[in-house]
Chain A
Amino acid sequence: MDIVQLLHDLTGFYNLSLGMVFMWVVCVVLFYLAVVKEFEPLLLIPITFGAFLANLPCENMWNAPGVDPATGHVVAGGLYYYIMQGIHLELFPPIIFLGVGALTDFGPLIANPRTLLLGGAAQFGVAATYQCAYYFMGFNEGESATIGIIGGADGPTTILLAGKLAPHLLGAVAVAAYSYMALVPMIQPPIMNALTTHAEKRIRMKSLRPVGRAEKLIFAAMSCALTIMLVPPAAPLLGMLFLGNFLRESNVCDRLTKASQNEIINMTTIFLGTSVGATMTAENFLRFDTLKILCMGVVAFGVATAAGVLMAKLMNLTINRSNPINPLIGSAGVSAVPMAARVSQVVGATHDKQNFLLMHAMGPNVAGVIGTAVIAGYFIATLK
């Protein structure tokens, strides 16, 4: 009897629930996808490990600071209470964007600014999924916006928006966003092939003109000012994105650029991922809504892909008749950088080995990053 009492008092076994054990199974599946199938492992492993920790009976990892009623002493909070403030205070996603900006070359977009329209068109996937989730799936406005933004294929933006508008969906939308980003090479090609003719797939685009340092710096500063004035709530994301990019393109801040591209983004990724995973407790995640979110995520990706391709076709019929663009780069308007651009290259090369679409697709791809942040800012401004 004493041993049973001791087990009860000192160990966590008695706090285990069936839901926790079921979540371990979910974690095993996610670990398999991340480690064996290499589905966005840099993010899926921290997220899954956070989920695993959240479903172990270890309260002192998460408890908030307080006062011990017996002694009156202040008791410090658990480790992840403090680390998760990075999400609650909306610090991690903008810091990730600093690294994204430092890693991104906006040259292809500057050289071919009409691809901005393709990045914008892909946001139609976000808008359509928002409408669908709100009118047909029973989600409220904030939840619908959070689910729709999955179609933007931008993890940090999705997490930021979820943190603001639907914190209880954070784990589910993050898993959906990162899983589907990893599945971009499988989700996009059938849609791209179905919506384009053989001749369209073989369109060779003119070489991009070189873009100088001054042009890139002016672009970063002006885009920063313009987008923030347009959508002020997106300032944390866009400000850090263009700060990172300005550091990169200045060519005089090598140490800061490299730190942003490596140590800062890597460290933040670990804490962001585990914090997001920590929201995936059994009671939060094992709900019918999670399944609906996973289904809506695919819809969002598919519609965004189709909208980009169709916009490219429309542009070829109207403003681009003399200098057509290959509609396959339209799909890169979803912002998964640079994976969506790689998909454009791979699909194009299967129809013409001498056709190199990669750098052309980077234009809509980076435009998609800006577009998703702008639409997230719009949602925050109108729904919060």
Chain B
Amino acid sequence: MTCPLAGSVFKVVTSVGASVQEGDTLMILEAMKMETPITAPCAGTVKSVDVAQGQTVNEGQVLCTLG
């Protein structure tokens, strides 16, 4: 999953190995003083989490991998 908007990672909700359903919140980004939840586009297992809480992220950067 790639980052849809530039900002910073406010909170990582998921972890490697977690099973997620479509629409589950994976992490929360903060941009323009607004918290934006990043949700799973499909069901699957989290293979990797590529960012950490507080990290600045750019649009298009890989946030996590679902398998």
Contact = CB atoms under 8 A, between A and B. Distances in A.
Nearest to B41: A354
Contacts of A359: 5-6, 31-32, 59
B14 interface: no
Interface string B1-13: 0001110000000
A356 interface: yes
B4 A362 contact: no
A345 B34 contact: yes
Nearest to B3: A356
A342 B30 CA distance: 12
A358 interface: yes
A353 B23 CA distance: 8
A354 B39 contact: yes
A47 B6 CA distance: 35
Size bracket, chain B contacts: 10 to 19
Contacts of A358: 5, 31-32, 34, 36
Nearest to A341: B32
Interface in A306-363: 338, 341-342, 345, 349, 353-354, 356, 358-359, 362
Contacts of A338: 32-34
Contact of A342 (B34, B59, B60): B34
A174 B6 CA distance: 33
B36 A356 contact: yes
Interface in B16-35: 23, 31-34
Nearest to B35: A342
**Interface majority SS on B: helix, strand, loop or mixed?**
loop
A224 to B, nearest CB: 24
A208 interface: yes
A354 B37 CA distance: 9
Nearest to A338: B32
Contacts of B23: 353
A11 interface: no
A356 to B, nearest CB: 4
A342 B4 contact: no
Given A356-B5, A358-B5, A359-B6, A208 B34 contact: no
Nearest to B37: A353
A362 B41 contact: no
Given A207-B60, A208-B59, A354-B41, A362 B36 contact: no
A345 B32 CA distance: 11
20 contacts: A208-B59, A341-B32, A342-B32, A342-B34, A345-B34, A345-B36, A349-B36, A353-B23, A353-B37, A354-B39, A354-B41, A356-B4, A356-B36, A358-B5, A358-B32, A358-B34, A358-B36, A359-B31, A359-B32, A362-B32
Interface of B: 4-6, 23, 31-34, 36-37, 39, 41, 59-60
Interface of A: 207-208, 338, 341-342, 345, 349, 353-354, 356, 358-359, 362
Given A338-B32, A358-B36, 13 more contacts: A207-B59, A208-B59, A341-B32, A345-B34, A353-B23, A353-B39, A354-B4, A354-B41, A356-B5, A359-B5, A359-B6, A359-B31, A362-B32
